[in-house]
Amino acid sequence: MNISSASQQSGLPLKTIRYYEDISLVRPARAANGYRDYSHADVHLLKFVQRARSLGFSIDECRLLLSLYQDENRASAEVKALALAKIEEIDSKIADLKSLRATLSTLAAHCHGDNRPDCPIIDDLAGRS
Amino acid sequence: MNISSASQQSGLPLKTIRYYEDISLVRPARAANGYRDYSHADVHLLKFVQRARSLGFSIDECRLLLSLYQDENRASAEVKALALAKIEEIDSKIADLKSLRATLSTLAAHCHGDNRPDCPIIDDLAGRS
DNA sequence: GCTTGACCTTCCAGTGACGGGAAGGTTTAA
DNA sequence: TTAAACCTTCCCGTCACTGGAAGGTCAAGC
């Protein structure tokens, strides 16, 4: 099928699908006229990547997941390790964001937020504690 | 002072400081030999930006914060609004990450993680639910 | 057969916020 | 005097795309 059908079925933008071919992530056949020709299996792979990306896996991680997906003899432990590492990454990001939030929240709470120029947020940024 | 002193005092890498000049965020004077010459006030602005960046403000937001910082007649309400908007952004990111984490966690929990090829994580990515 | 418009192709440039490294000028200490 | 430690500009690379231009192909309607 043409790229636009593949796009509809996978939920990925045209540009993204072309990009995935560029970086040899999902490579379709070519029709006689030079058009990309996606098989159902290709679309399946595109969907696979779409899901993995939406779960926060990087392109390189997707590449690994795809190879594991296509490896009949893979050990599920390898995939699980990848998922657990991702969870740790996510936890770390969440912790960072929470700490950020707390700081900003404290600053905002001390700012009266009116027409006067005094502002504890600015003061803090300026290093006046 | 030279750029390396400014770097030490602000905690920002040389490259970052030069980049901030490129994008007209913090522009130092130039010495006769062409070297950048940072005043104490410049270093103060660099530190200000460093703090704001570490709080998750984008460069453009830093630009706005800097102009507010340097505006004697600013209303603190404007700064507070920026901080509150940032908090909302952070909340939204945290929510996204938590949802991601829950999904991955469920998947990982159902994966036995041994040498067998059966893997519910891969199955889910492949759309076999 | 012709035109129109919807496809498709490749290629080039830009995003944000820098980082790496090359090529070359300046200063300072031994 | 020479070496090394600075400094400069410039260009490319990052990540995962996105936008747009220039041009080829195809299907439908007249």
Annotated domain spans of chain B: 1-74, 75-129
| Nucleotide of closest approach to B17 (CA, C1') | C18
- Determine which helix (DSSP H) or strand (DSSP E) holds B72, and give its type and residue range: none
Convert A95-127 to b/e letters by CB count within 10 Å (16 or more is b): eebeebbebbeebbeebebeeeeebbbbbbbbe
Mutate to test the interface with B, among A46, A78, A91, A125 (most CBs of B within 10 A): A125
Task: Give the span between the Cα atoms of B99 and A39, in whole angstroms.
Answer: 32
Distance, CA of A108 to C1' of C27, in Å = 47
Decide: helix, strand or coil at residue B2: coil
- Residue A20 CB-density burial (10 A; 0-12 exposed, 13-18 middle, 19+ buried): buried
Q: Which two tokens stand for residue A100?
A: 């950020």
- Whether A44 sits inside 8 A of B118 (CB atoms) is no
CATH number of A3-125: 1.10.1660.10
Instruction: Read off the pLDDT of residues A75-115 as tens digits, 9 standing for 90 and up.
Output: 888 888 988 998 998 999 999 889 888 888 998 898 888 88
- Whether B125 sits inside 8 A of A80 (CB atoms) is no
Instruction: Read off the pLDDT of residues B57-105 as tens digits, 9 standing for 90 and up.
Output: 899 999 998 998 988 888 888 889 988 998 998 998 898 889 888 888 9
What is the percent of chain A with per-residue pLDDT over 70, rounded to a whole number? Answer: 99
CATH 1.10.1660.10 applies to domain B1-74: yes
- Which residues 90-109 of B interface with strand D at a CB distance below 7 A? none
